[in-house]
Amino acid sequence: MIRKIWILSVVLAFQAALPSQVRADDDDTDEDSGQLLNELFQSTVIYPQAKGEIQWTFAPSFAQNPDARGLGLPVSFEYGISDRLQVELAWEEGRAFDRLDRVPDGAEGVFGAGLQYTLMNIGGRDMHAALGGEFEVAVHRDQLILPGEGEDGAGSGDEGESRASFAPYATLAADFKELGGLHLTANGGVELSNAETEPFLNLGMIMPLGGTVMSVEWNWSEEEQFLTPGLTHIFGSGWEIGVGAAIGVQGEADDFRLLMNIIYEY
């Protein structure tokens, strides 16, 4: 518990260290549509890419639980086919280490592709909705890599396996301008993988604080639950950087995850 409180304090300290200033005039956050930020940390935002708009995201993460630690290095590309329809391609390289800094489960690479169709300001109101789907193929390289050894070291092997999943989802969101620009979002769906069905639900709150945006997420699935606070600073010329801490609160969740978003949009 002390460790989780310390992590939350670090995230809040990040906010204090950032300049509390109004966004630059050349900021690409599309204030006319009320867009506050491009990405949350563990759930999907409602905001679509505009037609012809491109977004690159690098979102490194570190996770820890009593038995192991994990490192994720995902990179994603988003493109606006129209103002309502966007496509996403992603690749994540991940590794899990045990307490002896070995990689007992090998390394895993995940390729993902997704589509999202979004309706903003439905009926002229501050209500939004989106439907989407994400397809992923995970390739597991079955090997044991010891510290200081390459892939030819002890325990390494050439065998591997892959698995695929598809996750259709829906997102609903609303803006409350009378409450300082508060944005509430709910994102839910099911992940279909190997004849298994796993529902998920994410609830989020986004609040602008000058040039910084505060977010809080509740991430739920049958196996794990997280409380995920985060802070994102909006820079000019399409850049934004955010840090977050996902705190495991129930189920088989990691004790904590340290999360980061580095985004460039043009």
What distance in Å separates the CA atoms of residue 254 and residue 10, rounded to the nearest whole number? Answer: 18
CATH of the domain at 17: 2.40.160.40
Structural domains in the chain (count)? 1
Q: Is the pLDDT of residue 5 over 60?
A: no
User: In this predicted structure, which of 8-17, 85-94, 231-240, 247-256 has the lowest mean pLDDT?
Assistant: 8-17
In this predicted model, what pLDDT tens digit does every residue of 36-50 receive, in sequence order? 999 999 999 999 999
CA distances from 10 to 5, 201, 227, 242, 259 (A): 9, 26, 15, 13, 12
For 213-224, what is the mean pLDDT? 95
Q: Report, in this order, helix, strand and coil percent for the chain, each rounded to 5.
A: 10, 60, 35
pLDDT the model gives residue 160: 53
Q: Considering the chain, what percentage of its residues have pLDDT values greater than 70?
A: 74
Q: Is 81 exposed, middle or buried (0-12, 13-18, 19+ CB in 10 A)?
A: middle
In this predicted model, what pLDDT tens digit does every residue of 145-156 receive, in sequence order? 434 444 444 334
pLDDT the model gives residue 8: 47
**What confidence tier does 22 reach under pLDDT thresholds 50, 70, 90?**
very low
Segments forming the whole domain that contains residue 119: 2-265
Q: Is the pLDDT of residue 31 over 80?
A: no
DSSP 70-91: EEEEEEEEEEESSSSEEEEEEE
pTM summary value: 0.78
In this predicted model, what pLDDT tens digit does every residue of 178-211 receive, in sequence order? 999 999 999 999 999 887 899 999 999 999 998 8
